[in-house]
Amino acid sequence: MSTAASSELRPLPDQPLAGKTLRVWKIGAAAESLFLFLLPAGYWGATFIWELPMWPLYVIASFFVLLAVLNIFVIQTLKWRRWRYKVYENEVELMRGVFIVERVIIPMIRVQHVDTRQGPILRHYKLASVTVSTAATIHEIPGLEMEKADELRDRIARLAREADPDE
């Protein structure tokens, strides 16, 4: 690649999520996995009603255990490591994804509303998410320390007001 082309490339966003976010995501993935175990539990219950072979239960249960372990311990860690954001004067950039990396640029002029959000697990870990609303969609920066989330919300709101040509 030539130096002219490499100087035009945008740098990757460098702001990570809070470390406790990984713990919250693992808790969510574990809860999701418990819900998925209803399928093998249903098959197990069906064996009492009908004469079904037990080997499919072992295959299904093994598959869901493997899926749960991969999701909780591998996928969530990769997702957390990849998640980055950066706030510039004129835009907010988000980067996320494990297998498919998505980079989103939100122009400040398009920002309509900025808010912080907390569920019970985030509140327990003193974390919050910042949501950036545009006319088209809502973008979320998940799992920031409360103080950082409040500062980021206020900064994006101020920059969006400054970028608004009607004011």
pLDDT tens digits, 36-66: 889 899 999 999 999 999 999 999 999 999 9
Q: Which helix (H) or strand (E) holds 142?
A: strand 138-145
Q: What percent of the chain has pLDDT over 90?
A: 87
pLDDT (average), residues 136-159: 97
Q: Which residues contact 15 (CB under 8 A, 6 or more apart)?
A: 84, 85, 86, 87
pLDDT of the residue at 167: 57
d(Cα 160, Cα 48) in Å, to the nearest integer? 61
Global pTM? 0.85
Q: Using N-to-C axis directions, what is the helix angle for 20-36 and 38-49, rounded to 10°? A: 20
What is the rounded average pLDDT for all residues in the chain?
92
Q: Using N-to-C axis directions, what is the helix angle for 20-36 and 55-69, rounded to 10°? A: 170
d(Cα 25, Cα 82) in Å, to the nearest integer? 14
pLDDT tens digits, 97-130: 999 999 999 999 999 999 999 999 999 999 999 9
Structurally, at CATH architecture level, domain 84-163 sits in Roll (2.30)
